Amino acid sequence: MRFLKQAAAMFITFSLFFSSNQISQAEPSISVSAKSAIVMDGSSGRVLFAKDEHEKRRIASITKIMTAILAIESGKLEETVTVSDRAVRTEGSSIYLKSGQKVKLKDLVYGLMLRSGNDAAVAIAEHVGGSREGFVYMMNQKAADLGMENTVFHNPHGLDDHKDHYSTAYDMALLTKYAMTNKTYQKIAGTKHYKAETMQGFWKNKNKLLTGLYRYSTGGKTGYTKLAKRTLVSTSSKDGTNLIAVTINAPDDWNDHIQMFNYVYDHYKTYVIAKKGEIPKLKDTFYGTKAFIKRDVTYLLNDDEKDHVRIETKLLKPKKSWRKNKQAIPDIIGEMNVKLDTETIAKLPIYYENEQNKKPKQSFLDTFTSVFKKAAGGAAWSI
């Protein structure tokens, strides 16, 4: 932050737990059938297990996650789409659209995600992007914005009609992490059955994890082509921990995903490292109870790692004039840097409460284990 460079600062380190032992991280006991695989924390983006996650591969219909989120973000879900001949002629899986048919965009997105309709993908692309080609441009622009560095889209459905349509397990996990921040996407991807409003159709989701195989499943997207083989993106949630799994070219993908999810749930927990609102350990500083952060800091940790979390807090050195004129104190008075050993896992500003800048109420996330609460009694600060 610029202001920290311009002023002297107090530097405070809060070690949540103390341990002289090195972290012992055994290799995960996971063996998957997939050529590429990954399981990622849906909140922080932390990768818990990976296998050739950056290898560029054909991805088949998990492409449609990008098609769906762009359609949702267009704000046009209630608009009526006139289905084109080009959409109807699209090969492969279908929701059996007819040329000239008028269908609500929302129905097309449900048909896209639940039944993997390639005809729906083209109809969506033409309506949202003005043309299939225009929509593909939007797909690649969004991929670039999300940091999907090893992804190129050439169609909205994932069919093998272009040799340079590819992505990676890591990039598809990034895309899904982003998509899952959208409540409408969450709802559609997690729907088991859907009755179309503007066409004939009562659809069951092809995602067997969601419809019966895995109790913690919250959604995802299946895929298959002769060249890509079986591809699968799935999400799950248990005890406040949200996970994303991706497999590409996986003959036993259902079991791959269950195994990856269960491994993480068995070995990791989501901890609250710091809660939004007042920062208790700053009460005795100049800023007192007026210093606060605006959001909770949570992170997925195993039993060894939680002993190695530290909070480093850098505060502006108070000016003498501020004691008499509290209104001169800046809105942002410092920075909280949360580290796992030497790796920064969260960085956020520390605010000073005033009439315009209100402190949020303390949150109580009962489903999480609070590192902060456990450490508060015995940890030490140094200035």
Secondary structure (3-state) at 57: strand
List the 297-301 sheet strands across, edge first.
297-301, 269-274, 369-370
Q: Which of 15, 36, 51, 61 is catalytic?
A: 61
- Residue found by looking up tokens 């109790």 in the block: 215
Q: In whole angstroms, give the CA distance from residue 307 to residue 52.
A: 30
Tell me the torsion sign for CA atoms 14, 17, 19, 23. negative
Q: Which of 84, 93, 116, 370 is catalytic?
A: 116
Q: Are strands 229-238 and 343-352 parallel, antiparallel or unpaired?
A: unpaired
Tell me the torsion sign for CA atoms 73, 75, 79, 84. negative
Q: Is residue 113 left, alpha or beta, with left meaning phi > 0 and alpha meaning psi from -120 to 50?
A: alpha
Q: In whole angstroms, give the CA distance from residue 93 to residue 222.
A: 12
The verdict on whether 116 is a catalytic residue reads yes
Confirm if 243 and 269 have CB atoms less than 8 A apart. Answer: no
Confirm if 367 and 378 have CB atoms less than 8 A apart. Answer: no
Confirm if 241 and 41 have CB atoms less than 8 A apart. Answer: yes
Confirm if 152 and 164 have CB atoms less than 8 A apart. Answer: yes
Q: Which of 15, 51, 64, 104 is catalytic?
A: 64
The verdict on whether 61 is a catalytic residue reads yes
The verdict on whether 43 is a catalytic residue reads no
Query: Which residues are designated catalytic?
Result: 61, 64, 116
